[in-house]
Amino acid sequence: MIFRQATPHDLPTIYEILEGAIRRLGAMGVDQWQHGYPNRERIAQDVEKTVATVAYESGFSSPQYFSNVFRKRYHMTPQRVAKKPFDQKMQLKNRK
């Protein structure tokens, strides 16, 4: 199995998976995701996020500062990591 970053082309499949999970969780009495979050709009927004958006949402004052901190910690740029398959990103996460 190959994991990769989602694209707008993937949204119908993502919605299908998410909606199935929401139904199953609700049927099991699990409250998670039963109140409209995440929804289609939020998922579409997340797929479109740039490194700059992630930087600001993570509390960094600028994308440049975020990239510098990221590069010092992981020895590569966030842009390079965004292009890696998901399984390689998880290896990076586990290196902390």
Q: What is the pLDDT of residues 24-80, one digit of tens each?
A: 999 999 998 888 888 889 889 888 888 788 888 889 988 889 989 988 988 888 877
Report domain extents, the chain. Answer: 7-48, 50-96
Residue pair 34/25 in contact by the 8 Å Cβ criterion? yes
Residue pair 48/57 in contact by the 8 Å Cβ criterion? no
At residue 51, the pLDDT reads 78
Phi, psi (5° rounding) for residue 37? Answer: -130, 130
Going by pLDDT thresholds of 50, 70 and 90, the confidence category of residue 12 is very high
Going by pLDDT thresholds of 50, 70 and 90, the confidence category of residue 90 is very low
At residue 23, the pLDDT reads 92
Alpha-carbon span 21 to 28, nearest angstrom: 11
At residue 95, the pLDDT reads 54
